[in-house]
Structure 1
Amino acid sequence: MRRLVAGIAAGLFLTSAAVLLARDGEAEGEAALPEAAMADAAETQKVRELPVIPELGPPPKADPVSKEEKRFNRVDKDGDELITLSEIVQPRRKRFANLDLDGDGMLRFEEWAISTIDKFEGADADGNGTLTRAEYATTAPKPRKPKPKCSC
């Protein structure tokens, strides 16, 4: 507790000393300038003019597109303002084709669960068909990298 109070007191002391020194330096700097130099500086500031900015017209109006309109436009691939069944199903067909390993157009449970089965078999180090705690720990997902807060 004493350390905390001593730390706060020391911080306040250092802060007030820095403020006083800064004020003292400003006062000395002003006194060190001759009056002629101060008059020249004031005159220079009076002569300076602001640049002329050409007049711009009104900004273009933004076409507000709602979230629902954006979602519709993503699905409407041909842009005819109508969504067909094939436009909705097409993205899913690619994923289905990746899962349908034998290409028979039918998805068996094993095909759907292949990544889970592969993960299980990879973790089963002794090949006995069961996972111990240590083997199961190897299946834990890797931590994700944090996303940057800005794209600077």
Structure 2
Amino acid sequence: MRPTDPKQLMGVYTEYQDIPDYYRLYHYSDQFDGRDVWSEFVAQKDISDYESRRFRRVEKSWKNHVESHHALAHPDEVEDYFSDMMESKSLTTTYFYFQRLHGFYKFLMMNYNYPHVYSPVMLAVVSGPETRKCWDYKISERKRVQ
């Protein structure tokens, strides 16, 4: 059975304050300046045109929201994003965005070409109530289809 506690899936760093400063993503802003990492992420996926348009919708929304580079977000930016979204969208719709943003940062963590040793999305799940609602929805959907 897959874990439901997000901390069981996060690796070494389960709280932002535990991450050594030299691993924090803001240190890499020069390496990512002008780089469209989201396009790199989508390009490696084998998806239909329809699904590609859905990813682009999330990309546009995320890039319009985040103040830092879209691949170097702080967990607070993630929480603010989902908090703002929950004010105007349903949990089901917000979860649609959560899935793709979570997948984006998971890709960055799993690919050696990127310096990511933590996911700001997962850190927001642990620390923020709105992002946690998305996680809880994910778990409830997983249980529903089993």
Report the TM-score when normalising by structure 2. 0.16
Higher relative contact order, structure no. (Cα contacts within 8 Å, ≥ 6 residues apart)? 2
Larger Rg belongs to: 1
